[in-house]
Amino acid sequence: MKSFVVFGLDAFGQTLAVSLEQSGHQVMVIDPDDDAVRKVADITTDAIIGDPMSESVLRKAGVTAYDTAVISFPGEINNTILLTMMLKDMGVKRVVARACSELECRVLEKIGVDRIVFPERDMGEKLAHTLDKQDVFDYLRYSEDYSIVEIKVPASWVGKTIIELNVRRKYGVNIIAINEEGKGKINISPAPDRAFLDEDVITLIGSNKTVNKLAGER
């Protein structure tokens, strides 16, 4: 079990805190908004109404005992910077911060933020990919050059096996799982001699260029 302290309870912060708690982790939230804190108080491990920019509030809450601090202050880069610096000075192991632009990202990198997230950009990108190609069911950018996608099996693959297609060498992708819709189960370790069915939905990782090409082969 990991532990997280979440600062900022907008829709993103609330969803993150609740999801982490439901995944079995210990979660504390800190926010000055009474209503926002009360919404998650019964779900999270600890919920504190207080000023996250106050060092005394942070120390009293015991933030240094948590593995990761997540800062979600959209549009408040100055507060994000100040809070990051306080947390780092206090010895918090890992700080994750939300950014709204590439400039903010560069600033946060320079002050030592361990991971920077762009919720709006990433969600927009994911939606664009699922709307652009009707056979893309889910999309996750793994890095600048690689993505994980869930797509309808390419028509040219139907009736052929993984080994027959030589998927890794020929297409440069790795198959993570096959959702066998007809059987209602997910096969996370498909046998190399297993033939693809027309109703299969596959999850694969590969270069953006390759996965986009495969997603269009229907």
Q: At what angle do helices 77-90 and 102-110 cross, to 10 degrees?
A: 20
Residues 15, 107 within the same domain: yes
Range of the domain at 91: 3-117
User: What pLDDT, on the 0 to 100 scale, is given for residue 186?
Assistant: 78
Domain boundary among 52, 87, 117: 117
Residues 28, 110 within the same domain: yes
> Is residue 127 pLDDT above 50, yes or no?
no
| Alpha helices in 33-144, H assignment, sequence order | 34-41, 55-61, 77-90, 102-110, 119-132
> Is residue 147 pLDDT above 60, yes or no?
yes
pLDDT 10s digits, 67-77: 999 999 988 89
Q: How many domains does the chain have?
A: 2
Q: What share of the chain is helix, strand, coil (3-state, %, to 5)?
A: 40, 30, 30
Residues 112, 127 within the same domain: no
Q: How confident is the model at residue 153 (pLDDT cuts 50, 70, 90)?
A: confident
Task: Please compute the mean of the pLDDT values over residues 145-150 and round it to a whole number.
Answer: 76
The enclosing H or E element of 206 equals: strand 201-207
User: What pLDDT, on the 0 to 100 scale, is given for residue 50?
Assistant: 96
Residues 113, 9 within the same domain: yes
Residues 109, 29 within the same domain: yes
Taking every pair of Cα atoms in the chain, the longest distance, rounded to a whole number of angstroms, is 65
Residues 94, 187 within the same domain: no
Residues 110, 20 within the same domain: yes
Contact present, 29 and 3 (Cβ < 8 Å)? no
pLDDT 10s digits, 9-54: 988 889 889 989 988 899 999 999 999 999 999 999 999 999 999 9
The CA distance from 117 to 74, in Å, is 11
The CA distance from 100 to 46, in Å, is 28
We report the CATH number of the domain holding residue 190 as: 3.30.70.1450
Residues 34, 112 within the same domain: yes
Residues 101, 170 within the same domain: no
Residues 172, 71 within the same domain: no
> Is residue 118 pLDDT above 70, yes or no?
yes
Token pair for residue 147? 């993505």
The mean of the pLDDT values for the chain is: 84
Closest CA to 9 of 71, 57, 58: 71
Residues 68, 144 within the same domain: no
User: What pLDDT, on the 0 to 100 scale, is given for residue 124?
Assistant: 47
Task: Please compute the mean of the pLDDT values over residues 136-162 and round it to a whole number.
Answer: 75
We report the CATH number of the domain holding residue 55 as: 3.40.50.720
The enclosing H or E element of 152 equals: strand 146-152
Residues 52, 128 within the same domain: no
Domain boundary among 117, 137, 156: 117
